[in-house]
Structure 1
Amino acid sequence: MVGTGPRGCNDFRTRYSGVRRQDLFNATPFYQAQKEILKILTGKMVVGHAIHNDFKALKYSHPACQTRDTARIPLLNQKAGMPEHQTVSLKKLAKAILDKDIQRGKRGHSSVEDAKATMELFKVVENAWEQKLSALSLSAKAMDLALNQI
């Protein structure tokens, strides 16, 4: 996440984020970064892992129909041999499905590495998942039509 945040920050969670106090000295102000990011996201399909955390940090709500969260795709959990409705970490999914070890650096997670792994995971199930979502959408529309005819 770029920016200094709407309020001051005492805990940078450097172990996870890689962000240190000195990284923020010349950082883009939060509201400017937020404005630029939201301009990019608006109207786009957004793929992420546990992406609600990123949206919360941005103080943003993205339409569910344009959001693909790899932490909430049961097909990925199946492929990884994990329970379907359990939230599995990106690190575990990447190892089980892609045979990649990520998030091993001493300076915290790499947002680029996480984004690449997330997109690779999504591509593994993209066609099947989009077909399932399309079928669910069609059956919901059929149900609405049927209920409106009663």
Structure 2
Amino acid sequence: MTRIGKLKTADNLQLRGIQVPLICSLCSGHLENHSHLFFDCDLTFYILKNILLDFTSFLLRPTLPQALDFIENSVFLSRSEKEFCYLAISCISYHIWREMNNRRFSNSRNNVAKVICNISSVVRLKTAKWKNKTTLF
């Protein structure tokens, strides 16, 4: 759902006749749509760069499909490193979605450091039994 842009972001909800604020709940500075949420938003791009350091070299912010293609086509990453990156992207996407919903619907918010810490913890737990896990962090 995330890769094909079918998540119920503000723009998709508006198309379905559901009235919600169109402003991004994470940055409050842009219209919320799929490409903004993953990873055009200042907050989400910051999270991506802090979890996956290879993305600090991007001059322009990637969309989610571009980020996945970058990982797949990288000649510098081994298969296990690519799997790690895919897992990290999945966790990042889930936690961004969760944070956006928490801010919009329950009026609670974590700061960006807490979101990064939560994502890092989940990734560590999910890779705890992987061979070569120490080379991935």
With structure 2 as the length reference, what TM-score do the two structures score?
A: 0.29
Structure of greater Rg: 1
